[in-house]
A and B are shown apart, each in its own frame.
Chain A
Amino acid sequence: MTKKILLVEDEKILAEMYKDKFTQAGFKVFLAFESKEGLALAKKEKPDLIILDILLPRENGIVFLTWLRKDPEISSIPVVAFSNYDDPATKKEAARLGAKEYLIKTSYTPQEIVEKIKEYLTQ
């Protein structure tokens, strides 16, 4: 069965790029450009995994995670934080809210990200 991925990412170029890659790798990708939109999509589509940017317009990724964890319908969906904002305090907060990992975008190629996500989904 095709796995569903929700990508919450406000940078259009990056969003498109990762969507291309994940689609090509056989995933069904949903894009959201901000937290509220992401949350609505998560409730509607119940993705298998969420890739979450941290610096987002209006409410940031941490707020998104807090909302997600409070909603029993979607609270168990695994989340991978994915950002260029490399701040130790934010990383800790994301981990506390149950983010599986906090990946820095420039450290991985899209292919490497796909492999990591596949790993998570098979776990």
Chain B
Amino acid sequence: MRLSVFFLFFFVAQAYSTVTYSQQKLLTLKMQGAKVIDVLNKIESESEFFFLFNQKLLDVDRQVNIVVKDENIGNILSEIFDNTNVTYLIKDRQIILTTATSIVGSDQGQQQSVKGKVTDQSGASLPGVSVVVKGTTTGVTTDNNGNFSMRLPAEAKILVFSFVGMKMQEVTISGRISLSIVLEDEPIGLDEVIAIGYGTVKKSDLTGSVTALNADAISLGLSQSPDMALKGKSSGVQITTVSGQPGAGAVVRIRGSSSILGSNEPLYVVDGVPLDGGGAAAGIHGASVSPLTIISPSDIESMEVLKDASSTAIYGSRGANGVILITTKRGKEGTYNANFNMSMGFQNVSHRLELTSPEQWAELWNESMDYKNGGVGKYDLKNLPARTNWQDEIFRTSPVQDYGLSFNGGNEKLHYMLSGGYTSQDGIIMNTDFKRYSIRVNLENKFTNWLTVGVNLSSNRTDSNQAGDAEGSVSADNPVGLIITASPVVPIYNQDGSYVQYVDVESKRENPFASLKEIVNNDTRNRLISNLYAEISIFKELKLRTNFATDIADTKAKYYAPSYIAQGRAANGFASIGSNNKLYWNSTNTLTYSNTFNKIHRLTVMVGVEWQKDVVEGLIANGTGFANDNAKFDNLGEASNYNTSSVYAAWQMQSYMTRINYSLMNRYSFTFTGRQDGSSRFAEGNKNAFFPSGAFAWRLKEEDFLKDVSLLSNLKLRASYGTSGEQGIPLYQTFSTLSASKVLVGTTLNTGYLPTRAADPSLSWEKTTQADVGIDIGLLRNRLNATIDFYYKRTNDLLYQKALPASSGFTSMLGNIGSIDNKGIEIMLDAIIINNKNFKWDIKINNSFNRNQLINLGDGRKEIINPSGGVSGGDLKATPSILRVGEPLGLLYGYQSDGVIYDQTESDVAKKMGQIQYAPGELKIRDVNGDNKITDADKTIIGNSNPNFTGGMSNTFTYKGFELNILCQWVAGNDIMSYQHMVNQRLSLGYNAMKDWYETRWQVNNPSRVEPRAGYDIRAYPDVSYNVFDGSFFRINNVSLSYTIPKHVISRIKLRNLKFSAGIDNLYTFTKYPGWSPDVSSMGGNVMGQGIDVASYPVPRTITFGINLGF
């Protein structure tokens, strides 16, 4: 913080300095026998002057004596350069030194000088534009009015004009002495080059469905990781938060879920290297840090989301769920940029759940005791044992901060980008945090005209303390869930100051305050990703690129439950330490031939081969029985009992690929992609598979009949068809392995081996075939752009557990069965609504419709109730999962509730129907199959977690230096089953309740038809529609306001850019959903757990203030 204050004062002081700096600034120098360069450096260090000169021409090593006191710069310079051929020109703080010799020695003494004015497209003058002679560092910047003038070295032929947010322009001088330059805005233009995997393509030639996001789009909003930065910004991509835990990841779905058991996550490729796994080591409790958090979003130059088969097929067996390409920033020729980012802020819980007060709760409890326990065990309302507001005790306002420093630049040969960053975020729940330290180096050098070598290196550490989270169970019996279920009349501490152990009636659920405060649950990861490459131009049209990348990930998980809290009490302290060491390497070699024939045939052919190997070695050790709580996991040797296990897992892939891009007359583009993948995961004979795809694009705008339609600036039709795959199944599935287990026989602990898996040697890939038709339209000089895509995806050979009769010894066997369909429409609009000299309004909207359908389950089965891998309710006995042919994945299955049994008459009916609980005030269950009995057969589909549509919108308003961004996101028509809602009515365990229910519940003297009575049996029908809610929401994800100090102000202080910003993240959510947030996926990536909310770590609201300065 002190640093920021310093910077603030520094800049304010600078901004107010006067224009006559050169006259006012007085310098005192005393240098004997000093080199000219040292004197100049001294002046630069003591003042704000800076010198521009060509070191080759200026004799900087000449020794001078200079002793001056309070002299102005003009006199000092004349003293230094008196009697030399050097002349100087002082422009405010900028001093240009040129030599007479250079002029004399140049071509017939034709010394040139040039002046000019730089404006933007609207005609407004542009101050601060950098004007550099190409190939040199000689240059000036434009003044307040956009004017510049400079003397040119003799060899100068081309001037390069560059300015942030504008397209760089090169202007040939060709003898002119006055130039008028108009710089164009740099929108996402058609000439933009887009990464497509193993190569790039001009956007105009793109045949597939790809959403490209540039650095500006990525930096909108607050995000710790690239997946979160995508939220609401791309069509066809649905991003759901797993939890609000600092560093937690998201569930990312591109065009729906296409696998039941395999992964549905897209493949991430960072600078050409697939980013794989790197998950937590064994021993972490609950939700964990996303592997993507190792990438700082501020390092990202662009992200491309590859959606259709034509774009993803090049990734073959790993592309079925879409691919997200991430390209990090790199240096550009002729520039030098340093950038410093700083943001600070704080987070708090976006809204608290309104729970009952201790008295209200006790009233509910007493009613429940009257109902269930003959009035035994009631509380005296006037004398409650304690009054605890668990939310107040556990939630906090916590700081977030982020610093990033980067340098990039380059000359003709060497380009570089160096960045370092530090992020720290404390969670809104005590004792949770996330820290990231990152260093990135991107270097590229052109050794000769045919050889370029480069390296991308990124080294990171993340360190995170996590609250034990839901971990896939719906009972909400985890510390975070217990914040809202712990009874308000249970104290945190006993009278002797020790922790109360349990907060429920059964003494199973530990005091959440003690758990969160005292348990260490730490996830630390070090990761070094390096990518070394060489590009060899064999002849002009043929390039060989060879890449060797390694990804080394070392992950550690540390856990300790001390002896004085419930979790560690019986064991006298429970410690565990797990470590995972991963080495992934990837060797990619491609040959690319590209040429243009007869000016109309443009052909690019790429062939390549790739090898990958991934080895993970894991180790975990547990220990219990400690003398005290000092040693923890740091000295497991002190434990009285321990056990250890280790694991080795490796996979390899060998792939051949080709892509042919052919474009005719700039109008017709064809792409053929093929990839043959071999994977070690499958049995001999099934290891290899081929994934082909083809695509066609037609740029109608280039046709003669549309060429002159000035309204239309772009019109392109695209179509593609192809196949990609999914191999994300557990390793070693084709072997009948023996599992080892420990068993105590007599007094010895023995290791026993038992066959535990039926192996299917015919196991193979899931294959997804996708057709896509798209249209790109640009109107009014691309002020209005629209992209619309229609797609149809069919996944065959679905990997799923084939059911076996248990009498065979096994209940299931992994096999390829079934098919799934996804079809949908995606729309993206980008409009510059207002574009005045001072005011600009840019709006981007995307909206996607996806329909998912299970086509076939194999074995002729029509449905699987409570399928393997589905959500199980543990103690609640809830099993809301079902797979049903003809319906989507992610259905919610259970009993339909018809409100509440109102009175005795209705109770008699319910009793006759055989309801488990039938007293008045219990839930009334519908007899769906009409057999006058309430049985399992009455379970039906009670919700669909798939939304009708999802979308996002960003609005950018620019007024002079001010920019206001508003980022919104919406999801409509999905259902959520809230187990949080249910457990908050579990009075049989003494759980806390929602205030809303307290006010509207059924009571003996005040019956309700809607809300059940206190003490009703939630476990009688746990999967009931009563707990299903509409999950639609509209969220203002982020509002941020920034002010960029005008160029003419900051250019005086040698700064290139200075921006102040403030923003609020997760500002407000409009929803009818009663829980913490409708935008959660508590079950993580499990497709059968979509739409289930267990009150996981709430997503915080964050307010940040930032400074961005470039120099």
A and B: interacting chains: no
Query: Which B residues are closer than 8 A to A by beta carbons?
Result: none
